[in-house]
Amino acid sequence: MPYLSILMIAVFAAFYYRAAEFENASGLLWCGLSLVISVATMFFFHWGWLGILLGQVGLFAVITTLRMMRKS
């Protein structure tokens, strides 16, 4: 596994953990979702670093949409 992919997985996991703390949500849940998406795109779909990036953008969009619907 390339080092860029490992670095991206770690950076996105840390980002989602801190974002969850900022939003007063479960940091472990958001970090766990990020890790699951990263592992799924790397090992099950074999999409590489681009798959990780697109998966994380999709996770961000889903979390944002759900939190916007909940607040309205």
Which residue range(s) make up the domain with 8? 3-71
pLDDT at 52 over 80: yes
- Give me the number of domains the chain comprises: 1
**pLDDT at residue 72, rounded to an integer:** 74
Percent of the chain with pLDDT over 90: 90
**pLDDT at residue 62, rounded to an integer:** 97
16 with 34: CB under 8 angstroms? yes
Distance CA 20, CA 46 (A): 28
pLDDT at 1 over 70: no
Tell me what the pLDDT averaged over the chain comes to.
94
